[in-house]
Amino acid sequence: MITTSLSPNQQLQPLSTAVNAKGHLTVGGCDVVDLAAQYGTPLYIIDEKTLRTAGEQYVEALTRYYPGSSQAIFASKAWSMLAICAIVHQSGLGIDVVSAGELLTALKAGVPGSSIYFHGNNKSREEVDFAIRSGVTVVADNWTDIDLLSELAIDQPARVMVRVTPGIECHTHDYIRTGHLDSKFGFDPNQLLDVLTRLANSPNLRTVGLHAHIGSQIFELQPHVDTVDVLVEWFPKAQALGLSEFNELNIGGGLGIRYTESDDPPSIEAWVRAIAEALVSACQRTGLPLPKLLCEPGRSLVATACVTAYTIGATKTVPGVRTYACVDGGMSDNPRPITYGAKYSAVVANKMQETRRETVTIAGKHCESGDVLLRDIALAPLERGDCLTVFSTGAYNCSMASNYNRLTRPAAVLVADGEATIVLKRESLDDLLRFDCLPERLKS
Ligand code: LLP
């Protein structure tokens, strides 16, 4: 058992959450109400302790349960930002990127190319070139990727992995399911022999292994265990084709987190253990030497570490129907409820000692009826100026944030030991106009 602390993905709140003498919520030793006053709202507040703990738990569990070599990689699409990439890298993780922008962010955060993996189903020529020049491993998703890699890896050989669609079904939202056969990602297993044969005949492509990612926010362990079995079968075949460096098995990400009381995901430790044990026993069964085991978590690393603080503005009661309380953000800083029907939990940060005796619906400020962050949630009675704080907002919120209705995107602060540090500046109104051009003839 890992004893350092609780598994962050199983908690509703960051690990450092407490309530102070004023009855205010604190995270990382900082009063959330004070942070909201100082930095404005909406505000992403990142608890360094939770983030580091999650990263360390992946690394520790791999070391504990997998006797071969291993590497956890952060799927930075969950939140690509300098400070986050730097922290997870310090915790011993590599970084997975899917665009030139994410790659640049990881490199600028101090992550060496040798610890970066480049994914994506439509990489541009420039992106593949940038990745090769940076010494990054490129995960070939389709034949076009292999053509581009062959064209570009002339002066410098490219390190390549192959993504396969393992045909594994899992229970999650349709949009975030990727491992079934009708997916835009990865090679169909029927094509894999041709792919590996072509790679075996491409001396400038150093093919190092196989990758699969079956989906996200998954609570079951079995689909990942099954994926291990599907991938393992290909290692002897690849090696028989002459791919002598073929030794990395990347199981992808997908471990779910607890957004609400009723969510019950396995711990980071249990997830890693199930995969590690499945791989060890598959290798014993087939006589395969243990490959290097990689996994690629995104959500379970960053989600629980972050809370979003908002200020309550207007309220509206539809008699006999419901009461709406409106926050100063919404689908632009958290598009997950409107996109996936995602559910969250929340508190009133300045009223932590009051009973949750009112049921309200928290609406965003966008001109869209579906812009509702939390439906029918029990909270302390709300008034204008209250600080509503939503938990578990670290994954895919900031990274999918928009300027819809020309709202400025929030700032983010990193909190630890009672200190807050800005890690993302708030956009200003002027920033919104930075890329607009008003042609001379339209000026009045
Ligand atoms: N590896 C690959 C190749 C991926 O495509 C993903 C996520 C991950 C790893 C990380 O998966 P995670 O551990 O975060 O489940 N925007 C959606 C989630 C999209 C996931 C995309 N791929 C959401 O907000 O739920």
In this structure, what token pair is assigned to residue 174?
Answer: 């349709």
Catalytic residue among 326, 367, 387, 437: 367
Amino acid 3: pLDDT:
47
Contact assessment for residue 253 and residue 302, using Cβ atoms and an 8 Å cutoff: no
Q: Is 78 in the pocket of ligand 1 (CB under 6 A)?
A: yes
Q: Which of 205, 277, 267 is nearest to 242 (CA)?
A: 205
Q: State if residue 253 touches ligand 1 by the CB under 6 angstroms criterion.
A: yes
Ligand 1 mean position, distance from CA 402 (Å):
19
Pocket mutation for ligand 1, best pick of 177, 213, 250, 396 (most atoms within 8 Å of C-beta): 213
Cα of 253 vs centre of ligand 1, distance in Å, is 7
The first and second tokens of residue 288, run together, are 């395969």
Q: Give the per-residue pLDDT at 146.
A: 97
* 171 closest CA partner among 214, 122, 234: 214
Whether residue 25 contacts residue 19, with contact meaning beta carbons closer than 8 Å, is answered with yes
Q: In this structure, are residues 363 and 313 in contact, taking their beta carbons and an 8 Å threshold?
A: no
Residue with tokens 């030139």: 100
Amino acid found at 209:
G
DSSP state of 179: S
pLDDT confidence of residue 5: 75
List of domains in the chain: 8-47+306-430 (2.40.37.10), 48-302 (3.20.20.10)
pLDDT at 175: 52
| 367 carries an active-site annotation | yes
Q: Which is nearest to 208 in space by CA: 275, 286, 117, 111?
A: 117
Burial of 368 (0-12, 13-18, 19+ CB in 10 A): middle
**Which residue stretches of the chain have pLDDT < 70?**
1-4, 170-181
Ligand 1 atom nearest residue 216's Cα: 15
415 within 8 A of 35, measured Cβ to Cβ: yes
Ligand 1 atom nearest to 301, measured from its CA = 13
Q: Which atom of ligand 1 is nearest to the CA of 299?
A: 14
CA–CA distance, 103 with 137 (Å, rounded to integer)? 11
Q: Is the CB of 163 under 6 A from ligand 1?
A: no
State the closest ligand 1 atom to the C-alpha of 399, by its place in the atom list counted from 1: 16
User: Count of alpha carbons within 13 Å of 119, Cβ hemisphere only?
Assistant: 22
Decide: 66 in ligand 1 pocket, CB within 6 A.
Answer: no
Identify whether the C-beta of residue 164 lies closer than 8 Å to the C-beta of residue 252: no
Is any ligand 1 atom within 6 A of the Cβ of residue 337?
no
Sorted by sequence, the CB contacts under 8 Å of residue 430 that are 6+ apart come out as: none
Identify the DSSP state of 166: -
Q: Whose CA is nearest to atom 21 of ligand 1?
A: 176
Query: Ligand 1 centroid to 146 CA: how many Å?
Result: 23
Structure-block tokens of residue 247: 């030794």
Instruction: Decide whether any atom of ligand 1 lies within 6 Å of the 119 Cβ.
Output: yes
Closest Cα to atom 3, ligand 1: which residue?
A: 213
Predicted pLDDT at 1: 42
Regarding the beta carbon of 252 and ligand 1, being less than 6 Å apart is answered yes
Q: What is the pLDDT of residue 167?
A: 85
Ramachandran region, residue 158 (left: φ > 0; alpha: ψ -120 to 50; beta: rest): beta
Q: What is the pLDDT of residues 138-180, one digit of tens each?
A: 999 999 999 999 999 998 899 999 999 988 876 665 555 566 6
- 283 within ligand 1 shell (Cβ under 6 A): no
C-beta of residue 290 within 8 angstroms of C-beta of residue 279? yes
Query: 108 C-alpha to center of ligand 1: Å?
Result: 22
Ligand 1, pocket-test mutation among 178, 185, 216, most atoms within 8 A of CB: 216
C-alpha separations of 38 from 24, 108, 191 in Å: 15, 28, 56
- State which ligand 1 atom lies nearest to the alpha carbon of 336: 24
